[in-house]
Amino acid sequence: MHQFRQDTGTIRPVRRSYYDPSSAPGKGVVWEWENDSGSWTPYDMDVGITIQRAYEKQHPWVDLSAIGFCYVIDFATMGQINRQTQRKRRVRRRLDMVYPLVSGTLPKSQSWPTSPGAAAAPPVPTCTCPQCLLVMSVKATVPPGTGSGSKASRPGLGTLSRSHLQRLAIAQSRVLIASGVPTVPVKNLTGSSPVNPALAGITGILMSAAGLPVCLTRPPKLVLHPPPVSKSEIQSIPGISHTCRKTTKKQAKKGKTPEEVLKKYLQKVRHPPDEDCTICMERLSAPSGYKGSQPAVKPDLVGKLMKCGHVFHLHCLVAMYNNGNKDGSLQCPTCKTIYGVKTGTQPPGKMEYHLIPHALPGHSDCKTIRIIYNIPPGVQGPEHPNPGKSFTARGFPRHCYLPDSEKGRKVLKLLLVAWDRRLIFAIGTSSTTGESDTVIWNEIHHKTEFGSNLTGHGYPDINYLDNVLAELAAQGITEESLAQEKD
C-alpha cells in the first residue's frame, strides 16, 4: 500500500476509503456548486456527506465551518453563502452519480504469472503512458527460470542477478529518459553516482519482484535553499532602495460612508436589464435578496459599474463592501475589475530582499534575488475571519527567489507594492494541511525551491515571471502602481 513516484523517487503511503451504503456516495448522491464560468463543481466527498446528512434531517441550512469552510448551505434557496463576503452561489443535488459498490472479492490486477510453469506473457497495461509501457515491457522481457530456493522459485523471474536486473533496467529505461523524465541528483543502488530516478525506480521494482535484496533509491533531496551565503556576499539590489519592509496593524480609516464610496464608481440604472444580480441571485427588476444587516439604501435600487459595465443591486454592493476591508476600493464580483486601490488583510510582518551570488536553473546569466518573508503568530484583528482569536504562522521565515534580470526586478518592485498593500498573505484555512486560522498565501505565487523544480515551486519555469505579473495585475498592481506609490 505505497505509491512510488518514478521521476523523484518519493514513496508515499496510500489507502482506500469505504463509505456506508446509507451515506451520500452509497446512495449515489453528489452535491455540486456553480463556479464563475457557469459549470458545476462537485464538493469533496466528506463535504458532500455533511451536506447530505443535514438535508436528510430536513434542516433549513447547514454551516460548514465545523469542517473548515466558511460557507452556509441554504436548502430553501439551494444556495451557498460565504459567511465573510455574503456572496451567494447556486448549489444542486445530483442522483445520477452512483458510487461503485464493492461486493465479494476484488478482481486481481494483471501482474506476474500465477504459477512457475505459466508463460510470462506481458500483462495488459491499463495506461499507455511511457512509464507504464516501460514497466510492462521490462516485465515481459524477464526470462522464466527454474532455480531453487525461495528467491529463485518466484514465478517467471528465474535466478537473475542484481547486475543482470540493473543492466536490463538501464537498457529499458532509455525509452523513459528519452520521453522527458528529468534527471535529478539521486544516488544509484551502489551510492556512487547520480542516476535517473525513474531508472532507479524500475530497478527497485524488478528486484523487489524477484525477491532480491532491494536498496530503493533515497528520495531526492529538494534543493530548497542555495549554498550558505556569507554576509559579505549579500548585496543590495541596484535601483531598489532599502533592503527591508515592515507592515503594521491595519489603521482605522475614517471618512466616507460605503454609499459615498460606491457613488464614485456607479451609475444609477433606471430600467434594469432582465437578468440576475450575481450577488444575491435575484432578478435585477425585483428587490435585493440580501438578508443580512440592512444597508442604508433602498433594496430595489440598481447601479452599473463604470469601467466594466456590470449591473447589481446597490443594496448588494453596499453589503459586499461592508463585509470587506472598507478601504475605499471595490472589486467587481463578476469580472474582478478593481475600482480604487485594493488592500488586503495580511498580518504584521517583515519582508527582506537582497542579491546572492548564485544562479537559478534557467537563469545562469544572472545572480539571484532572495526574498525572505517573516510573519509571527498573533491575534486576529477586526478585518480577519475570527477577530480576537489566535492565528498560527507555519513555515516562516519563507525564502523565495527571482532571477536578477530586468523582468525579475520588475516583479520584485511590484511585490513590494503588494506587500505594502497587505496582499501577499492572508489568514484562512490551509489548502495543504487543512489547518484553519493560519497564515496562507494569497493568490500571488512565489518560487520557494531554489535548485530544482520537483515540487512545481522552483526553476526552470519559462512562464513564471509572466504568470506572476498577471496575478499581480489581477490584484490591481501594475506599472502604473509604481508611479502611484512614488506620488
Q: Is the pLDDT of residue 176 over 60?
A: no
155 pLDDT band (50/70/90 cuts)? very low
- Continuous segment of H or E residues that includes residue 445: none
Q: Which of these ranges, 166-170, 172-176, 321-325, has the smallest mean pLDDT?
A: 172-176
Torsion of CA 290, 65, 376, 239, to 10 degrees: -50
Higher pLDDT, 487 or 17: 17
Q: Enumerate domains of the chain plus CATH numbers.
A: 30-94 (3.30.720.50), 107-221 (no CATH), 233-245+345-486 (3.30.390.130), 258-339 (3.30.40.10)
Higher pLDDT, 390 or 486: 390
Closest by Cα among 120, 202, 201, 199 to 154: 120
Q: Is the pLDDT of residue 83 over 90?
A: no
Instruction: Kindly report the pTM of this predicted structure.
Output: 0.56
Question: What is the pLDDT at residue 255?
Answer: 58
3-state secondary structure of 311: strand
- By residue count, the chain amounts to 487
The mean pLDDT value for 249-256 works out to 56
The mean pLDDT value for 419-444 works out to 91
Neighbouring-strand partners of residue 79: 74, 90
Beta strand pairing status for 330-331 and 88-94? Answer: unpaired
Task: Quote the cell numbers at residue 474.
Answer: 489581477
Do 391 and 378 meet the contact criterion of CB atoms below 8 Å apart?
yes
Question: What is the pLDDT at residue 185?
Answer: 38
Instruction: Please tell me which of 193-197, 207-211, 356-360, 478-482 the model is most confident about, judged by mean pLDDT.
Output: 356-360
Question: Residues 381-406: pLDDT tens digits?
Answer: 988 989 999 999 999 999 999 999 99
How far is residue 173 from each of residues 6, 87, 181, 202, 335, measured CA to CA in Å? 11, 52, 10, 8, 48
The mean pLDDT value for 43-65 works out to 89
Looking at the chain, the whole-number percentage of residues with pLDDT higher than 90 is: 36
Question: Residues 15-30: pLDDT tens digits?
Answer: 877 777 778 887 888 9
Question: What is the pLDDT at residue 455?
Answer: 76
The mean pLDDT value for 124-150 works out to 46
Please name the residue that has the C-alpha cell 463556479.
35
Q: Which of these ranges, 45-54, 106-115, 286-295, 360-369, has the smallest mean pLDDT?
A: 106-115
Q: What is the 3-state secondary structure (H, E, C) of 193-216?
A: CEECHHHHHHHHHHHHHHCCCCCC
Please name the residue that has the C-alpha cell 518466484.
154
Q: Is the pLDDT of residue 14 over 90?
A: no
CB atoms within 10 A of CB 458: 22
Question: What is the pLDDT at residue 164?
Answer: 53
Closest by Cα among 202, 187, 197, 181 to 8: 197
CB atoms within 10 A of CB 279: 22
Cβ-Cβ contacts under 8 Å for 184 (sequence gap 6 or more) = 7, 8, 194, 197, 220, 452, 454
Question: What is the pLDDT at residue 113?
Answer: 38
Instruction: Please tell me which of 144-148, 169-173, 185-189 the model is most confident about, judged by mean pLDDT.
Output: 169-173
Question: What is the pLDDT at residue 180?
Answer: 43
Q: What is the full DSSP assignment across 47-74?
A: HHHHHHHHHHTT-SEEEGGGGT--EEEE
Question: What is the pLDDT at residue 102?
Answer: 55
Q: How many CA atoms lie less than 13 Å away from 242 in the CB half-sphere?
A: 9
Cβ-Cβ contacts under 8 Å for 331 (sequence gap 6 or more) = 337, 338, 339, 342
Cβ-Cβ contacts under 8 Å for 111 (sequence gap 6 or more) = 123
Cβ-Cβ contacts under 8 Å for 374 (sequence gap 6 or more) = 349, 350, 351, 352, 396, 397, 398
Higher pLDDT, 46 or 459: 459
Closest by Cα among 87, 91, 69, 71 to 79: 91
Question: What is the pLDDT at residue 442?
Answer: 92
Higher pLDDT, 118 or 472: 472
Question: Residues 437-465: pLDDT tens digits?
Answer: 999 999 899 999 998 887 788 999 999 99
The sign of the torsion formed by the CA atoms of 310, 312, 318, 319 equals negative
The mean pLDDT value for 264-282 works out to 90
Q: Is the pLDDT of residue 161 over 90?
A: no
The mean pLDDT value for 240-249 works out to 81
Q: How many CA atoms lie less than 13 Å away from 151 in the CB half-sphere?
A: 12
Question: Residues 99-135: pLDDT tens digits?
Answer: 655 555 544 433 333 334 444 444 444 444 444 444 4
361 pLDDT band (50/70/90 cuts)? very high
Do 249 and 348 meet the contact criterion of CB atoms below 8 Å apart?
yes
Cβ-Cβ contacts under 8 Å for 58 (sequence gap 6 or more) = none
Question: What is the pLDDT at residue 412?
Answer: 97
Report the chain's mean pLDDT, rounded to a whole number.
76
Q: What is the full DSSP assignment across 356-415?
A: ES--BTTBTTS-EEEEEEE---EE--TTSSSTTSEEB-TTPSEEEEEESSHHHHHHHHHH
The mean pLDDT value for 155-162 works out to 47
The mean pLDDT value for 20-42 works out to 85
